[in-house]
Chains A and B, each alone.
Chain A
Amino acid sequence: MPVKTISYEELIPGYEFPPATYELSASLVSKYLKAVDSAGDGFVPPLAVTACAIAAMTGSFSLPSGIIVIHASQELEFFKLVPIGTTIECHIGVAQKITRGKMSMLILEFEVFDKGKEKVQSGRATIALPT
């Protein structure tokens, strides 16, 4: 998990968060499969990997009290399956920050690698912050 958070105001395009590391343990995958009502097949579901990356993104910055974050859109590309027990590293950066009237939009990009530095997946999330 990220060790520190920065404020929303400090986020600027080009900013890169410190990499976040997760162990995709059997208990985490089991919890995930139960939550999404799905049977496992011995591999980590790609969306479980994405969930870690999204949590790393949204947990990396702090917002003023009472502000809610809405996930507006998501792009994903899967490159490889990883076995249960894999440790992944999420690299996250700020691509764009847009303010339109009373709505702020933050576009974050991420890449996930396994321990062998092979890319597991990449993605781009747009989150909206009504102010």
Chain B
Amino acid sequence: MLTEIQEGKALNSVVKHITQEKINLYAEASGDFNPIHLDESFAATTPLGGTIAHGMLNLAYVSEMMTSAFGRSWLSGGKLRAKFKEPARPGDTLTINGKIDCVEQKDDVSYANCSFECRNQKGEMIVTGETIVKLSSDKE
């Protein structure tokens, strides 16, 4: 976890490789069997041109970065807002970066406001967004 909560501080990046096997596993675990994720012949006929990863799979990687930085403060007091810009596809390598934009005090409680982005190996933006973490007393 982060030892210092400071404005501008970068969070440890997460790098993940997307495979069709992982997408299939995610479908089984989540119960989301939308054919756009699983059926290559169907997906090829759509404007997306092929299967894509579930947006929530990409967000799981963002949550991993946040958990690594803030631990339980994130897991039981985090807020997230994300926009899915482009689909992640099998074969993509995603890099998730984030930083603390500011630390705010409200009613004697500290909050870390962070921003994040997830890009593929071509630098294309896949997901972008913001998070807010209510900092527990051990972080203050």
A residues engaging B (CB < 8 A)? Answer: 1, 28, 31-32, 34-38, 43, 45-48, 50-52, 54-55, 58-59, 68-81, 130
Q: How far is the CB of A71 from chain B (nearest CB, A)?
A: 4
A-contacting residues, B59-97, CB 8 Å: 59-61, 63-64, 72, 74-84
B residues engaging A (CB < 8 A)? Answer: 16, 22, 25-26, 28-32, 34, 36, 46-48, 54-57, 59-61, 63-64, 72, 74-84
List, sorted by A's number, 15 A–B pairs whose CB atoms are closer than 8 Å: A31-B25, A35-B26, A46-B63, A46-B75, A47-B59, A47-B60, A51-B26, A52-B30, A54-B30, A55-B32, A68-B46, A69-B34, A69-B36, A71-B84, A74-B84
**Which listed residue (B30, B61, B64, B80) contacts A76, Cβ 8 A?**
B80
**What are the residues of chain A within 8 A of B56 when measuring CB–CB?**
47, 50-51, 54, 71, 74
**What are the residues of chain A within 8 A of B78 when measuring CB–CB?**
46, 76-78
Q: Are B32 and A58 in contact (CB under 8 A)?
A: yes
Q: In the complex, A104→B28 CA distance in Å?
A: 27
Q: Do A78 and B74 contact each other (CB < 8 Å), given the known contacts A31-B29, A38-B64?
A: yes
**What are the residues of chain B within 8 A of A77 when measuring CB–CB?**
78-80
Q: How far is the CB of A111 from chain B (nearest CB, A)?
A: 14
**What are the residues of chain B within 8 A of A80 when measuring CB–CB?**
76
Q: In the complex, A43→B76 CA distance in Å?
A: 11
How many A-B residue pairs have C-beta atoms within 8 angstroms? Tell me. Answer: 107
CB-nearest residue of chain B relative to A69? Answer: B34
Q: Are B26 and A36 in contact (CB under 8 A)?
A: yes
Q: Are A35 and B59 in contact (CB under 8 A)?
A: no
Q: Are A52 and B25 in contact (CB under 8 A)?
A: no
Q: Are A34 and B25 in contact (CB under 8 A)?
A: yes
**Residue picked from A38, A47, A59, A77, most chain B C-beta under 10 Å:** A47
Report the 7 A-B pairs with minimum CB-CB distance, sorted nearest first: A71-B55, A51-B30, A35-B25, A55-B31, A35-B26, A31-B29, A32-B29
Q: In the complex, A70→B26 CA distance in Å?
A: 16
**Which listed residue (A36, A38, A59, A68) contacts B36, Cβ 8 A?**
A68
Q: Are B57 and A81 in contact (CB under 8 A)?
A: no
**Which listed residue (A1, A32, A54, A74) contacts B80, Cβ 8 A?**
A74
**What are the residues of chain A within 8 A of B80 when measuring CB–CB?**
74-77
